[in-house]
Structure 1
Amino acid sequence: MAGLDAIDRNIIRLLRLNARMSNIKLAEEVGLSPSACLRRIRVLEHDGVIRGYTALVDHSSREAAMAVIINITLDRQTEDYLTRFETAVRRHPEIRECYLMTGGSDYLLRVEVDSAAEFERIHTEILSTLPGVSRIHSSFSIRNVLATRRSSAK
């Protein structure tokens, strides 16, 4: 987040804690007028710093929801291979998160499933058909320990 000033960073921090915070409350917290605060938020959105808003869902309300963490290794790490893989991943809403990684694998993906059979379908129909994949290593979560990026720093 280079190029952001302390107020922008504070706005982002507060929105990460509560994206539904009213603009009036947010403006008060960061020391701006509501109109100035809203202008900054719009600039952060326009510039792609804030890419969207989402809801964190308590998966304990779903009986058997499991997160599956998947490490993907590609045949090659060329720009073409990376671009083709990332384009294909974006077409599948079953893939909730995708990170380009350093270390032993090229990508880390997260999917959520209700059963081993559902994961088998995702593995067969989606993961194994992604372009350039040479290795897929999957791990099933036992339980969720932390599902937020909360920051207590002010």
Structure 2
Amino acid sequence: MSKPIDEIDRRILKALVANGRLTNAELAKAVGLSASPCWQRVKRLEEKGVISGYTAVLNHEALGVGETVMVEVSLDQHETGVLEAFGKAMADFPEVLEVHLMAGDHDFHVKIVADGTRGVEEFLRERLFKIAGLRHSKSSFSLRCLKRVSSYVPG
């Protein structure tokens, strides 16, 4: 098993979660390292898959897709191939932000963004409801996001 992350790694990760655009020099200063060891640690974290990528956080409302909807989905069948096919179909839709295979009352939890209730209706009718094997779906509209983070650094 590979060496777990230490406190310096945690500080690096927390700083990058807070601001993924930090230069290596800024990051090194923030975590109390010189630039070269900081860069080596970041590269090691990337190679180990602890850091899986960097991204921009977008304001969906400013982009005209301010409605966030959580859709619970139940399928008719639960064979591996059916579950994988549904998950892939959802992942291929650009307005789908997250797809989770669930344990419990429903099979999938899908988070989408849309342009108002008409955009949600269009997604449901033109995309979701056309997927074979769908038994039931239930949509819940987000009134307001109270917390949004992309990652958690344990410890």
Q: Indicate the TM-score class for this superposition, using the shorter chain for normalisation.
A: 0.7 to 0.9
1:81 is aligned to: 82
- Which ranges in structure 1 are unaligned for 5 or more consecutive residues? none
Q: Does the 8 Å CA contact 1:89/1:130 hold for their aligned counterparts?
A: no
1:129 is aligned to: 130
2 CA distance for matches of 1:29 and 1:88?
Answer: 42
Q: Does the 8 Å CA contact 2:90/2:96 hold for their aligned counterparts?
A: yes
SS for the counterpart of 1:97 is strand
The alignment yields a C-alpha RMSD, in angstroms, of: 2.8
Q: Does the 8 Å CA contact 1:70/1:109 hold for their aligned counterparts?
A: yes
1 CA distance for matches of 2:40 and 2:9?
Answer: 11
Deviations 1:98-141, CA, capped at 9 Å, x for gaps: 12223222221111112222111111222123354322111111
**Given the two structures, how large is their TM-score scaled by the length of structure 1?**
0.80
2 CA distance for matches of 1:87 and 1:14?
Answer: 33
- Which ranges in structure 2 are unaligned for 5 or more consecutive residues? none
**Given the two structures, how large is their TM-score scaled by the length of structure 2?**
0.79
Q: Does 1:113 align with 2:114?
A: yes
Q: How do residues 1-154 of structure 1 correspond to structure 2 at under 5 angstroms? A: 3-59=4-60, 61=62, 65-148=66-149
2 CA distance for matches of 1:17 and 1:28?
Answer: 15
